[in-house]
Chain A
Amino acid sequence: AQTVTQSQPEMSVQEAETVTLSCTYDTSESDYYLFWYKQPPSRQMILVIRQEAYKQQNATENRFSVNFQKAAKSFSLKISDSQLGDAAMYFCAYPQGGSEKLVFGKGTKLTVNP
């Protein structure tokens, strides 16, 4: 079965510091997308960043960047200069091979301490 694993149920970071959330996945596909979504207390799912597997370059969106290791099937999210508004649940996800069904990890709850 194709799965997404987030091994850190909870993480905390000091404001202005950097934190990395880990994600591993299992797929037999060679070309696919990977996503990180944020779910704040409002429960609205918000796209944080997207990575295309065929691209060698790691995706970056302002303070958010990924470390994509295709061979290791690893897709970690780095948040730099953490802000109080970054506190949320973070989900790693990718579309199941051969379909558009988005498969989610169990999530990591990020707390940002002032």
Chain B
Amino acid sequence: GAVVSQHPSWVICKSGTSVKIECRSLDFQATTMFWYRQFPKQSLMLMATSNEGSKATYEQGVEKDKFLINHASLTLSTLTVTSAHPEDSSFYICSARRESYTFGSGTRLTVV
């Protein structure tokens, strides 16, 4: 079946630094990947759609300069949280679609 790998699983960073999260489709090519954010006890909120070879499209209210997305190949999308602050602490999940949507295992980001 379709497998999406996401790394790291968890990361702690200092306020003001940047963190990169990787999302890979392991056994299929994904021209489009999706990045979600999930707060505790809440649903998944779509942040942006990552498009291979072109700019990502961001949902309303999501700062594109803070959440940089790069989709340089058909199997890899990255999300970089720039100049992270404690309020960016959250659970980030990526997804890609083959027939159904397959999700990475998520990244728990803690900014201290």
Contact = CB atoms under 8 A, between A and B. Distances in A.
Interface string A27-71: 000000101010000111101001000000000000000000000
Contacts of B93: 43, 45
B97 A100 contact: yes
Given A35-B101, A91-B43, A43 B91 contact: yes
B43 A101 contact: no
Nearest to A109: B41
Contacts of B91: 43
Interface string A99-112: 11111111100000
Interface residues of A, number: 20
B105 A104 contact: no
A3 to B, nearest CB: 12
Nearest to B44: A104
B34 interface: yes
A47 B100 contact: yes
User: Which of A35, A91, A104 has the most C-beta atoms of chain B within 10 angstroms of its own C-beta?
Assistant: A104
A42 B42 CA distance: 15
B75 interface: no
B25 interface: no
Interface in B22-70: 32, 34, 38, 42-44, 46, 49
Given A100-B97, A102-B46, A104-B44, 15 more contacts: A35-B101, A37-B103, A43-B91, A43-B106, A45-B93, A45-B95, A45-B103, A91-B43, A99-B49, A100-B32, A101-B49, A102-B34, A102-B95, A103-B46, A106-B43
